[in-house]
Amino acid sequence: MFDKFKEECGIFGVYGHPEASNLTYLGLYALQHRGQEGAGIVSSDGSKLYVEKDMGLVADIFTEERLGRLPGYMAIGHNRYSTAGESELKNVQPLVANFALGSMAIAHNGNLVNAGMIKDELEAYGSIFHSTNDSEVIIHLIAQSREATFKDRIIDALSKLQGSYSLLVITEKNLIAVRDPNGFRPLCLGSLNGAYVVASESCAFDLIEAEFIREIEPGEMVIISQNGIESFRPFPLSKIAHCVFEFIYFARPDSTIFGENVDFIRKSLGRQLCSETYVDADIIIPVPDSGVPHALGFSESSKIPFDFGLIRNHYVGRTFIEPRQAIRHFGVKIKLNPVRKVVGGKRVIVIDDSIVRGTTSKKIVKMIREAGAREVHMRVGSPPTIGPCFYGIDTPTRKELIASTHTIDEIRKYLTADSLGYISIEGMLKVIPNSQNRFCTACFNLDYPVSFPWEMAMQLELFEGKK
Ligand code: AMP
């Protein structure tokens, strides 16, 4: 069995720079929010691949000594996201393999919906898998392809796959970046003193002072080699389906993805949320960090003052990564603490980007009330999450998603909030420029742009019955 829905991740690549692995280290540092379970870098000096990877955070893994073992002018790196399930070194990317045409390594962000079936087929014909990571399927398909060139082998392999992938492949001599035809996950191209850089999010370019050139287009394959940069469109055109949840929660506010600045979108969502769910109150407080821009937008529109009424301990990982319910409850307390002086005696609007299981919000409402708030109104910067994601955002099974089994008023009661309001799907799309027909909103309306095997959905208890 493959790990399920663990493929959020951050990827970074450099071609043509003497400090390739150091730059990749910095790039991964800037993308740490996309995955904290493990990280790896593979570099090439033109004749050989060098690999260093481990469990943990980028800063802890890559000592000077380890970076010193990554020579060369090109490199790719990967941050792996962590959830419950198998978290082992063998699953940390980039995955490296030798095959008929030489060596290759891949760094994948996304989730392949037919990976399980392809893996079963490959195993039936004798392939041996080393990880429980669905990205390994890509390596096997490339290695087994009958096409003559590496480029055609990658195209052949990816043509068999469905789902989401922003992918970096490195060989001894080339760096290849590909984005799936739906463009689910972001992928950007930049330049730095004549070198090329590729990253999940543009915030990685800012750190290394690289220039943002453009996004890699959905369905585009870019090959960077001694011939310079070449672009190909090998896949049939598909419906564009950028993940709207990247805007809501996952990407960093200082990044530009899908053509827009993330912070700007979040503030616009906050303003729209205000117009849809205004309530009179004394103070607006965000659930930090992810709720901050939404709350600023809400405060700007409502003219209700914004303040930090919850303080976050920044040395704790994202609460979502805690594997068990018992620990998750505790986890919220470890992470957030109310400021009595800010919320005491007040009518408080608390704003978060999303409610998934409801565990976090319930705890937060209780905390704020215990800190002396007179009223606690919960507002959410995304529509009710009712469907699991098949394309790389870590969401639990459908029955665990509180909004799929409860009405808004039932959720309000569960949270013990005085009122509860979510932004509408229409409102969300209204404030994102040119949003028509270019976003995946499946987690909010079950409109899945790429179909997935129902057996898989049933087996993983994603749905209790057909929709
Ligand atoms: P929950 O307690 O299950 O309702 O989780 C909601 C909290 O998790 C919110 O504070 C969100 O910011 C955060 N969150 C939402 N989606 C994710 C995700 N895919 N990974 C990590 N955290 C998330």
Phi, psi (5° rounding) for residue 145? Answer: -60, 145
Distance of CA 15 to the CA centre of its chain: 24
**How far is the centre of ligand 1, averaged over its atoms, from the C-alpha of 458 (Å)?**
23
Q: Which residues of the chain have pLDDT under 50?
A: 1-6, 84-85, 319-323, 465-467
Rama region for 209: left / alpha / beta (φ>0; ψ in -120 to 50; rest): left
pLDDT at 7: 58
pLDDT at 158: 97
pLDDT at 397: 85
Q: Is it true that the peptide bond before 323 is cis, omega within 30 degrees of 0? A: no
Atom 23 (ligand 1) nearest CA? 320
Q: Which of 37, 360, 422 to mutate to test the pocket of ligand 1 (most atoms within 8 A of CB)?
A: 360
Q: Atom of ligand 1 at shortest distance to CA of 396?
A: 3
Ligand 1 within 6 A of CB of 249:
yes
- Alpha-carbon span 416 to 433, nearest angstrom: 35
Ligand 1 within 6 A of CB of 360:
yes
**3-state secondary structure (DSSP) of residue 286:** strand
Atom 21 (ligand 1) nearest CA? 320
pLDDT at 350: 98
- Alpha-carbon span 245 to 440, nearest angstrom: 9
Residues classed as catalytic: 9
**How far is the centre of ligand 1, averaged over its atoms, from the C-alpha of 356 (Å)?**
6
pLDDT at 428: 98
pLDDT at 247: 98
Q: Atom of ligand 1 at shortest distance to CA of 358?
A: 4
Closest to 51 measured CA to CA, from 98, 110, 115, 111:
98
Per residue in 102-149, pLDDT (tens digit) is: 999 999 999 999 998 899 999 999 999 988 888 999 999 999 999 999
pLDDT at 332: 79
pLDDT at 435: 94
pTM comes to 0.93
